[in-house]
Structure 1
Amino acid sequence: MTATTEAVAATTPVQEQLDGKSMPSLPSTPTSASSETSQALSEIFFVESSRRKHSIKIQVKLCPEGVYLRRETDQDDHINEQLIRIDDIIGSRFGPRLKKRPRGGLNSCKNPSGDATQEQEQQPDRDNSAYLYIYAYLKKEKPLRRVQTLRILRFRSSNDYAENLQTAELWHRTIREHKQRNSTTIDTNGSVLGAGGSSVKHLLILLNPKSGSGKGRELFQKQVAPLLTEAEVQYDLQITTHPHYAKEFVRTRKDLLERYSGIVVASGDGLFYEVLNGLMERMDWRRACRNLPLGIIPCGSGNGLAKSVAHHCNEPYEPKPILHATLTCIAGRSTPMDVVRVELSSRDKHYVMYSFLSVGWGLIADIDIESERLRSIGAQRFTLWAIKRLISLRSYKGKVFYLPCPKEEKEEEEQQEQQETAAAAPQEKETPRQLPVEEQAPPSRPVSLPLNVNGDVSEESEFRDLPEDLNEESETDPDQFADALSMDRSIFRQHADSWHSAMSRRTAYYSVGGQSIRSNRSRMSVSQRIEAANAEFAELVPSGTIPGLQLPLPAADGWCCEEGEFVMVHAAYTTHLSSDCYFAPESRLNDGIIYLVIIRSGVGRHQMLNFLLSMNTGTHLPPGDDDPFIRVVPVKAFRIEPSASDGILVVDGERVDYGPIQAEVLPGLINVMTTNGQ
């Protein structure tokens, strides 16, 4: 590989084009959609190398485990093998050669069985080859990362383009069948949606255009939409226009369960909080929480949940958190996650909300809310305000009640988790979730979305000595839609209502497959609708199992009480409060435990400084109960009763009315989108 090639490989996705006369290496290959998915496809491809006089022969085999490539040269016995796991492949595309190719693509190699001039004479007008583009993101360890990889297979065993296209389509269809082989999903009516594309449900994506310093639309268009296109995910994009837009949308949308297979939040934790509480206010909340997995793509400032999900899945987060989170959302799997029911009472007002991240009173809550006035300087606002709060360290007087988690139960949960992890080593642990596949319908309202993305890149490749075409001129892709980002800047300025403008009045967009035809008429009969309505009304909002906020908490039931002055009381149920705050290292998505951190008055400023500085590594909590000021208690429920009337309380980073507050965990109430964790 030349120095020029190496430089490009460090800044572009890993790509390879395998070319030549495709020759089956198996006696027969399946040629119909009804073929067994367990049957493998295999072809022989040839690639010319600029460093060798002879071509390189590569055997490509498609099996349920993935795409297996075996390379050997004519001059030596050197053999190189690679397996692209089916879980690492997000999608494929077949058809004619894409005219607009990503940089670093390889040259179309010459016919290994004949002269290039002879081949050009035989096909003077057009290329009869069919191409298969396989999009994969390979997981690498040390350091943990995802390597964007594109494999291009060129089928030209026949002079008839239709026959070559049929072969490429067979490979494309087989890849989809292998990915969906163990991913059957039950829809809201109870019918099974198996592999083969019978599901017509879309993915609902809610995007805050002001997230990411007002670049939410641009981030989505450049980094998220291309991956959704590669994965053939049909989606509806809703742009939020005002606070509580997402909450009202999911609460009032009547066809939410019938139309969508899941909900993805492209913003910070605040928008996820809206979606969760909107679902819990629906009459069919139980069905919605069970059948609509929730995903998050961190386009905002508070990304605690996205980091916690990546930690749970052992997936990379930095340096491309949007890319990695999008791959998690399109992986097609989900995991149960705890939700905490929060009850508040202030000024004769009593209400209930649902939390997924944390409840805070004291130092961290003060830093989070009071530093809002410095939001313009970015994440540095937290550091500056933490220094200010340490100089003038506050304490709050009140009572803290908590219901400890039994040690025996916690040990049993840890042992059970270890056993499940060991048992699930050869197989996947999370619940499969089938993503909707592309409908064969004419597009009605295409959205301007680019097909290429500059993703997470690595120079590593098992086949990196293959030649690369670094000078090929890019031509217009017929499948590339025009978008405001690629328009002339003068035209862009004339259209203030452009797609990615944060002030755009457009709020609904649809993926390339087009908007599905909607019908106001229900497919159910009158009796079925009455029965369904009665069932929905019977599903009441979950009530608390602990005494109400106005009732005492008896010690006989196991409640403990601490009274005095506190610097901070913070309850967390995910590992991370933000992308750089590893607050509860022992927490799991579905362990049914709230980790209550209590810091009493009297703690030294130096100790508090070490506490804050160590939160990014998770070493801030003292081991055991030896520390007289800082304690962490695993609990099932807790209550905070401030003595004063002035202070700050936060739920999932959002400020709530100051007053008595209590919370209890509801284990595994919702499902969040994850990968297989392997």
Structure 2
Amino acid sequence: MGGAMVALALKDLGHSGLLQQDQAIFPPNLMAESEQECLDTVVKSGSVLAPWLGVNCTLLLKQDSLACVYPEATAAGSPPPLPIFAVKLEDVVGLKILQDSPFSSSPSVCRAELCTYQKVKRFISSSYYRKFSTEILEFSDAKDFETNYKTAKEWRESIQLQCRKNSRNLFVFSPEQIDRLEPMQLLVIINPFSGRKNGQKLFQNIARPMFDLAGAVIVQEVITERQGHAKEFVETFDLTSITGIVLASGDGIVYEVINGLMARPDWEIAIKTPIGLIPTGSGNALVSSLLYEADEEVHTCAIENAVFQIINGGIKQHDIASVCNSSSHSYIGVVIHWGMTGIVDVESEKLRFLGGKLRNLIGGLVCIVMKRSYYGQLSYLPIEEDETKSPLTEAEGSIHSTNTLKPTTDVGVSDPIPEHWKTIEGNFVIFMALTSSHVTENDMMCAETKTGSGKFKILYTFDDVTRGQLLAKLSESTGAVKIENFHEIHTRAFRLNPISPCIITVDGEQIDYGPIQVQMHPGMMRLYSRVRCE
């Protein structure tokens, strides 16, 4: 292994999460139990001068961690090495080289900064949050700056590659992505009108520096100018030039991009392009669901957590669904609303300047006070209880998916309802068909509903629901409490026939009002996430 001299100079000994053992997420007793086990997992090593200790040490890049140990601990016949510091690679953002030319004070030294994003336990609770930690590394083994600069770049690339390899052992990956280890090449689409209309600023100030630090290359950055712009752009963009798409927006751009990918001649390959979500909109349902499933914070540092699951996470399968009415056929990936929640989705647009939480809260409270109901019929394909325990395969949900035919519904919107389907009708107050746990970043409707489950969870109420029950559901944050007069159905296909005038939205976008025929196509799209392997 290389013998580069690396001088680690801490910016602040007091804040260091890498050095202090009582703060480390990866303490010494979790290191290798034997000398041979430790040395067998070493990928790269280098000499280290630890100035706070005044001794030379060894920096070890292992298969799943980065550690600094005393050099005698790696000698033959020595006891198991205890680290001076250790950090899991799953918590590493990247190594940033701080200079590309020599400093006059240290002309041969090349400085770099190691950045980690580790979980830290809250002081007054049992929960955790993530916190950035940085350490300065000075590469000074050679007598000239150019050689030390080259060594720093080699370490940066080695850390990035090993982080990608390590993620394959920890997080869920779709089959075609598991062996792809090339650096990220990303198309970024930003909706400057979503949320509080500050998506571009949030991306540049928070997300972009994290992507740069992780070595991700932004191939192109697109600022949408109008509704439908994202769909039009991805329809013709050269997807072979990228490894993934990042959307800084709410759920509306997700809808556009899904339909743009499915409109391409190469839709079968295009729809499997990994998509990363950054919550800069007012809804952010899908990215909030992914963060929740990965046990990451949804409300605190949501943008940082969302970017981190893109740069150091996995790629999981998620479902899309066909939505057909009398005039169009489109695909969705998040949620369908009708009734009260459909009205909140659309009518609260005028409150967008308040942000997603206040906007939806005020809109919801107004609708609860008014408590209107809407007559309609719901017909659906029943799923037996044992079927709901395991996801459907991609083939089972995409009956019409061949090389020439795009997936659609088995039953047309004007066809007779199949005999084995069930039908309910009445005055609905709420109707929502969910593909994940959240409907906004602040509203988790069904904690057990996971992305990529292969089925919808339909949540609905009739007009016998009370205002108190509606308010209880609105204010209930765990998504696990069962409230009387809220009904649930699992299905992979249904028809909604709304009779009373109202509003239907799909992934936050209003569609023509009338009957809709819906069918799930499991596992067709790909999402960056930190959902762990079981």
TM-score (norm 2): 0.80
In the alignment, the residues of structure 2 paired with residue 413 and residue 194 of structure 1 have an alpha-carbon distance, to the nearest angstrom, of: 25
Matched, 1:612 2:467: no
In the alignment, the residues of structure 2 paired with residue 608 and residue 172 of structure 1 have an alpha-carbon distance, to the nearest angstrom, of: 53
Can you list the C-alpha shifts for 1:39-68, whole angstroms capped at 9, x where unaligned? 4414232223xxxxx736654322222211
Q: 1:170 to 1:220 in 2, by over 3 A?
A: closer
Aligned to 2:79: none
The correspondence for 1:164, drawn from 144, 148, 153, is 148
Q: Is the 8 A contact 1:405 1:593 kept in 2?
A: no
Aligned to 1:355: 332
Distance apart, 1:225 and its partner CA: 1.1
Q: Is the 8 A contact 1:137 1:146 kept in 2?
A: yes
Summarize the alignment of residues 392-407 of structure 1 with structure 2, pairs less than 5 Å apart: 392-407=370-385
Matched, 1:371 2:375: no
In the alignment, the residues of structure 2 paired with residue 179 and residue 136 of structure 1 have an alpha-carbon distance, to the nearest angstrom, of: 12
Q: 1:564 to 1:99 in 2, by over 3 A?
A: farther
Matched, 1:583 2:445: yes
In the alignment, the residues of structure 1 paired with residue 177 and residue 381 of structure 2 have an alpha-carbon distance, to the nearest angstrom, of: 42
Aligned to 2:458: 596
Matched, 1:384 2:385: no
Distance apart, 1:372 and its partner CA: 2.4
Summarize the alignment of residues 585-664 of structure 1 with structure 2, pairs less than 5 Å apart: 585-614=447-476, 616-622=477-483, 627=484, 629-644=485-500, 646-664=501-519
Provide the aligned C-alpha RMSD in A: 3.3
Summarize the alignment of residues 128-143 of structure 1 with structure 2, pairs less than 5 Å apart: 128-140=108-120, 142-143=126-127
Distance apart, 1:552 and its partner CA: 1.3
Higher relative contact order (CA 8 A, sep 6+): 1
**Letter of the 1:607 counterpart:** Q
Aligned to 2:299: 318
**SS of aligned partner of 2:328:** strand
**SS of aligned partner of 1:633:** strand
Aligned to 1:529: none
Q: 1:42 to 1:541 in 2, by over 3 A?
A: same
Aligned to 1:144: 128
Q: Is the 8 A contact 2:49 2:57 kept in 1?
A: yes
Aligned to 2:525: 670
Aligned to 1:288: 270
Q: Is the 8 A contact 2:196 2:354 kept in 1?
A: no
**SS of aligned partner of 2:460:** strand
In the alignment, the residues of structure 2 paired with residue 168 and residue 390 of structure 1 have an alpha-carbon distance, to the nearest angstrom, of: 60
In the alignment, the residues of structure 2 paired with residue 15 and residue 39 of structure 1 have an alpha-carbon distance, to the nearest angstrom, of: 20
Aligned to 1:55: 54
Aligned to 2:310: 329
In the alignment, the residues of structure 2 paired with residue 655 and residue 84 of structure 1 have an alpha-carbon distance, to the nearest angstrom, of: 47
**Letter of the 1:151 counterpart:** E
Aligned to 2:74: none
Q: 1:554 to 1:209 in 2, by over 3 A?
A: closer
Aligned to 1:570: 432
Distance apart, 1:653 and its partner CA: 1.8
**Letter of the 2:406 counterpart:** V
In the alignment, the residues of structure 2 paired with residue 270 and residue 258 of structure 1 have an alpha-carbon distance, to the nearest angstrom, of: 25
Summarize the alignment of residues 227-306 of structure 1 with structure 2, pairs less than 5 Å apart: 227-235=210-218, 236-253=220-237, 255=238, 257-290=239-272, 292-306=273-287
Q: Is the 8 A contact 1:284 1:539 kept in 2?
A: no
In the alignment, the residues of structure 2 paired with residue 412 and residue 192 of structure 1 have an alpha-carbon distance, to the nearest angstrom, of: 22
Q: 1:412 to 1:319 in 2, by over 3 A?
A: closer
Aligned to 1:552: 416
In the alignment, the residues of structure 1 paired with residue 490 and residue 343 of structure 2 have an alpha-carbon distance, to the nearest angstrom, of: 23
Q: Which runs of 5+ in 2 are unaligned?
A: 1-10, 20-39, 72-81, 169-175, 394-400
Aligned to 2:8: none
Aligned to 1:45: 49
In the alignment, the residues of structure 1 paired with residue 328 and residue 162 of structure 2 have an alpha-carbon distance, to the nearest angstrom, of: 48
Distance apart, 1:280 and its partner CA: 1.2
Structure index of larger Rg: 1
Aligned to 2:185: 202
**Letter of the 1:134 counterpart:** L
In the alignment, the residues of structure 2 paired with residue 351 and residue 267 of structure 1 have an alpha-carbon distance, to the nearest angstrom, of: 25
Can you list the C-alpha shifts for 1:416-451, whole angstroms capped at 9, x where unaligned? 9xxxxxxxxxxxxxxxxxxxxxxxxxxxxxxxxxxx
In the alignment, the residues of structure 2 paired with residue 335 and residue 59 of structure 1 have an alpha-carbon distance, to the nearest angstrom, of: 37
Identity of aligned residues (%): 28
Distance apart, 1:364 and its partner CA: 1.4
Q: 1:210 to 1:367 in 2, by over 3 A?
A: closer
The correspondence for 1:226, drawn from 199, 209, 217, is 209
In the alignment, the residues of structure 2 paired with residue 58 and residue 128 of structure 1 have an alpha-carbon distance, to the nearest angstrom, of: 20
**SS of aligned partner of 1:606:** helix
In the alignment, the residues of structure 1 paired with residue 317 and residue 153 of structure 2 have an alpha-carbon distance, to the nearest angstrom, of: 36
Q: 1:242 to 1:40 in 2, by over 3 A?
A: same
In the alignment, the residues of structure 2 paired with residue 39 and residue 383 of structure 1 have an alpha-carbon distance, to the nearest angstrom, of: 52
Q: 1:71 to 1:209 in 2, by over 3 A?
A: farther
Q: Is the 8 A contact 2:236 2:264 kept in 1?
A: yes
Q: 1:179 to 1:383 in 2, by over 3 A?
A: closer
Q: 1:308 to 1:58 in 2, by over 3 A?
A: same
Q: Is the 8 A contact 2:344 2:363 kept in 1?
A: yes
TM-score (norm 1): 0.64
Q: Which runs of 5+ in 1 are unaligned?
A: 17-35, 49-53, 73-78, 101-123, 185-189, 417-535
In the alignment, the residues of structure 1 paired with residue 178 and residue 371 of structure 2 have an alpha-carbon distance, to the nearest angstrom, of: 58
**Letter of the 1:672 counterpart:** L
Distance apart, 1:182 and its partner CA: 6.6
